[in-house]
Structure 1
Amino acid sequence: MKKNITVLGAGAMGSRVATRLLEAGYSVSIYNRSRSRASALINAGATYCETPVQAVARADIVISMLTDDLAARAVWLDKKNGAMQGMKPGAIAIESSTLSIACITELSAVFAQQGISFLDAPVVGSRPQAESGALVFLVGGSQATLARVELFLSFLSSAVYHMGENGTGAIMKLAVNAFFGIQVAAFGEVTGWLKKSGIDQQQSIELFNKLPVMSPALQGISKLLASENYQPFFPIDLVEKDFAYMLKQAAQVNAQTPCVVATHKSYQQAIKKGYGGDNISGVVRLWGEC
């Protein structure tokens, strides 16, 4: 018998995860701040609940996919309607949002106090991977807890990596996003310089894609650039948020991150220019306009 699942958040990622679960025959309850965003899921068979505490009442597994720390704290920890107030004994909480380490540490401590099993399990991948079950989970928490939900996570993903104790999944996710963001910004700088130096942009992109210096991620970005497609698979607003979270934690452990600092400023500049809703690839417009 399939488990009862609650998905907290019906945004770009949560809605796609919920759809995949519904198509596989899971019983899915949904909470989203705006009911209208969940209308397609309701029509597909999901049970919509007005509050997080109502949404988790029957759940064996609760997975959260939210925007930021503020949203996560409100959904989990609100004293009246927070999901933590309504979870049944034995249920497992999975936080798959990209959050700060401070927020994950706080959630982990509160869940432990309440005797609730908790994993931080942010994902690598975007909307297409969520739809096809090809996400990658980076998990922090006990091996025993992970073992209880590994089949469930595997249904949504192509790989599940156990990074260590609570918080390590979140740390790894911020590292992945920062590394990706640095690559995209650097590519934008270089191709912008080439364009201003008289090299055809299409030609330079095609050449880069034939060389070993291009990562698979950058190859994907280059295809978007070639068609000037800035559809927000990973919006710049969220890229900047993740850089800020990483830098805050890096300062706490006295890590030197000059490349991250410099790149963060580029994404902040992109937001000031009105590109915050664009995909991460839109940062290249900074150097195309100089």
Structure 2
Amino acid sequence: MQVNKTKVAFIGLGVMGFSMAGHLQRNGYPTRVYNRTPGKAESWCTTYQGQSGCTPAEAVTDADIVFMCVGNDDDVRSVVYGDIGVLANMKKGSTLVDHTTTSAELATELADVCNRQGIHFLDAPVSGGQAGAENGKLTIMAGGDPAVFRHAEPVMTVYASAIEHIGPNGSGQRCKMANQICIAGVLQGLSEALTFAQSADLDIEKMINAIKHGAAGSWQMDNRASTMAQDQFDFGFAIDWMRKDLGFCLEEAAKLGVNLPLTEQVDQQYRQLQQRGYGRSDTSVLIKQFDTDTKPSSST
């Protein structure tokens, strides 16, 4: 394995970050990680023969590019600011890349703070879920200076198969919002179609095979239709996280004066499913809105 001169750090080793940081290390980028739960960092170091820091600031020592993938706006701020945050120890001219799905407001905030410290910033949320991270097939939508993007893009290719520069800072997060709006609508349509097909006593697998190659086809149909019909909803991206994302979508839409009726409807359906105990089930559990059973199934 050829060792690259670019030194990187990765902050956040959740279901996405663990594998993303692993791809960096395995592809020759000396990687130092940080996770708020030390045991997760220790496990990563054992798995990938990398290094970890006791604080975010320690993890980014001498890093040329620092990647982050944590939970929400507050989580990002907790690892960025303060005496032990990444900005306390990042060198001038280095680049901070945030893969967290956050508000567009936070993206522009971080861009301004980084700029004042002579640090470059990209908001670069990802899509593709845990499987995409593990297989190195994520989609990345980035906002920031084009020159900064071109510098970071070759490094990100180790865990992404599609990377697009969208526009200035904040554009990456707004593109991710559009992505989540599409997913919400597709899953609502798929939930209704499967409920209709089951009520009509159609053979679900034959129905899916008949329509998935036509205009109704989608990633969700290919990967979730059969499992939805089989009452299986344990595939990583929980509705607790989706509601966080849809909240960003609805807040941004309100600022833009845009009405998103279907997104609002799906968000409320997810809220009701959370109340029924499905908060940790994946987003395809939306079909349960048509189920009179108020208890989560054993497969969730």
TMscore range, shorter length: over 0.9
* Stretch of structure 1 that moved more, 276-285 or 244-253: 276-285
Partner of 1:235: 238
- The alpha-carbon deviation at position 220 of structure 1 amounts to 1.4
- Kept after mapping to 2: 8 A contact 1:99/1:170: yes
Deviation digits for residues 265-288 of structure 1 (CA, Å, limit 9, x no counterpart): 111112111111111112212213
Please say if 1:133 is aligned against 2:136.
yes
- The alpha-carbon deviation at position 193 of structure 1 amounts to 3.7
- Structure 1 distance, partners of 2:213, 2:161, is 27
Please say if 1:272 is aligned against 2:275.
yes
Deviation digits for residues 114-144 of structure 1 (CA, Å, limit 9, x no counterpart): 2210001111212222122211110100011
Please say if 1:124 is aligned against 2:127.
yes
Report the count of equivalent residues.
289
Partner of 2:60: 56
Q: What is the 5 A alignment of 1:1-290?
A: 1-43=4-46, 44-77=48-81, 79-289=82-292
- Structure 1 distance, partners of 2:174, 2:113, is 19
- Structure 2 distance, partners of 1:268, 1:147, is 40
SS in 2 for 1:73: helix
- Code of the aligned partner of 1:102: E
- Code of the aligned partner of 1:286: Q
User: Which sections of structure 1, spanning at least 5 residues, go unmatched?
Assistant: none
- Structure 2 distance, partners of 1:288, 1:196, is 12
Q: TM-score of the superposition, structure 1-length normalised?
A: 0.93
Deviation digits for residues 61-90 of structure 1 (CA, Å, limit 9, x no counterpart): 10001111110111112x221111110122
Partner of 2:298: none
- Kept after mapping to 1: 8 A contact 2:194/2:229: no
User: Which sections of structure 2, spanning at least 5 residues, go unmatched?
Assistant: 294-300
- The alpha-carbon deviation at position 101 of structure 1 amounts to 1.2
- Structure 2 distance, partners of 1:206, 1:266, is 28
- Code of the aligned partner of 1:191: L
- Code of the aligned partner of 1:250: A
- Structure 1 distance, partners of 2:230, 2:155, is 37
- Kept after mapping to 1: 8 A contact 2:27/2:158: no
Q: TM-score of the superposition, structure 2-length normalised?
A: 0.90
Partner of 2:296: none
- Kept after mapping to 2: 8 A contact 1:193/1:287: no
- The alpha-carbon deviation at position 217 of structure 1 amounts to 3.1
- Structure 2 distance, partners of 1:116, 1:217, is 38
Deviation digits for residues 227-252 of structure 1 (CA, Å, limit 9, x no counterpart): 43322321111111100011001101
- Kept after mapping to 2: 8 A contact 1:239/1:280: yes
